């Protein structure tokens, strides 16, 4: 009976995944909006050797015809500073089949295992989905850092309505910042809000502030508070971290 209960729970969880509107939309939407992200923890003290081998591997991938402009980040705040985040956006599910075939046919992972892979102690890999409609990321904008606010979502909550409401407000007040919303498809049930920064000075909140502009647009502070009060009901906790972008370790986007 216990075994049957576990099977039942697993089946229900699986159906919830595929019946989740976000997951269905991510599979069908246009343009591509899926993200593949690898997190690698290298052996402490081997960061320089890893980066040298990583640069060599990038050249091997480019020579072999890698079509993805992988971008590399490291934590600037928090812990685990031996962690490297390798991220690619954006593609569709069907694109992954062709990419996996290229990786197998090109034997590019053999180069990885003989080089940079020797320094990696732990890997994790996850997929996420970028809400393109409610994001506003300026094309061609260069940046050194990305600030990421993560929201741990309440199961069954409707975060998408609040995301749409907040983003509409930001666009209505013509807020002159880039931002991007991303939902995890695998891993923790989280929503991320990312902001790029050119440098540390760029992290200074602009004047007038978002709240000032929103209050002026809506006519009262109470109306602004109502929007964010609704949003606060869809998550249990948040965390904020800053990551450094490494163009020298990344594959440039094809023009």
What's residue 6's pLDDT?
A: 36
What's residue 1's pLDDT?
A: 38
Do 24 and 18 meet the contact criterion of CB atoms below 8 Å apart? Answer: yes
What's residue 2's pLDDT?
A: 37
CA–CA separation, 137 and 118 (whole Å)? 36
CA angle (11, 15, 19) in 5-degree steps: 175
What's residue 255's pLDDT?
A: 67
Do 173 and 12 meet the contact criterion of CB atoms below 8 Å apart? Answer: no
Do 179 and 195 meet the contact criterion of CB atoms below 8 Å apart? Answer: yes
Secondary structure element (H or E) that encloses residue 83, with its range: strand 83-91
Strand ranges, E, within 98-170: 120-130, 145-153
pTM: 0.88
Ordered structural domains, the chain, with CATH:
24-249 (3.30.70.100)
Q: What is the largest CA-CA distance in the chain?
A: 62
> Helices H, strands E: what count in the chain?
8, 8
Mean pLDDT by 10 residues, the chain (255 residues): 36 38 49 95 98 98 98 97 98 97 97 98 98 94 96 94 98 96 97 98 94 97 97 97 98 84
What's residue 253's pLDDT?
A: 85
98, two tokens: 């062709």
> Which residues lie below 8 Å from residue 27, measured CB to CB, with a gap of 6+?
92, 93
137 backbone φψ class: left, alpha, beta (φ>0; ψ -120 to 50): beta
174 backbone φψ class: left, alpha, beta (φ>0; ψ -120 to 50): left
């Amino acid at each position: 009976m216990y075994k049957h209960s576990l099977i039942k729970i697993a089946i229900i969880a699986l159906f919830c995944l595929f019946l989740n509107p976000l997951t269905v939309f991510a599979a069908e939407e246009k343009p591509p909006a899926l993200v593949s992200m690898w997190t690698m923890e290298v052996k402490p003290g081997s960061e320089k050797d890893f980066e040298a081998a990583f640069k060599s591997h990038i050249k091997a991938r480019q020579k072999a015809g890698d079509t993805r402009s992988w971008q590399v980040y490291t934590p600037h705040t928090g812990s685990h500073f031996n962690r490297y985040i390798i991220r690619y956006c954006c593609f569709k599910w069907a694109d992954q089949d062709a990419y996996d075939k290229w990786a197998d046919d090109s034997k590019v992972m053999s180069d990885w295992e003989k080089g940079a892979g020797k320094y990696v102690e732990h890997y994790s890999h996850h997929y996420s989905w970028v809400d393109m409609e409610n994001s506003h990321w300026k094309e061609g904008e260069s940046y050194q850092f990305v600030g990421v606010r993560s929201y741990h979502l309440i199961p069954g909550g409707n975060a998408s309505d609040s995301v749409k409401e907040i983003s509409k407000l930001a666009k209505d007040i013509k807020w002159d910042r880039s931002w991007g919303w991303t939902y995890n498809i695998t891993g923790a049930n989280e929503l991320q809000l990312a902001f790029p920064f050119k440098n540390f000075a760029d992290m200074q909140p602009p004047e007038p502030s978002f709240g000032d502009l929103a209050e002026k647009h809506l006519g009262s502070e109470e109306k602004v508070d109502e929007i964010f009060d609704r949003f606060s009901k869809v998550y249990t906790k948040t965390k904020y971290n800053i990551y450094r972008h490494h163009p020298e370790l990344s594959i440039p986007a094809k023009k």
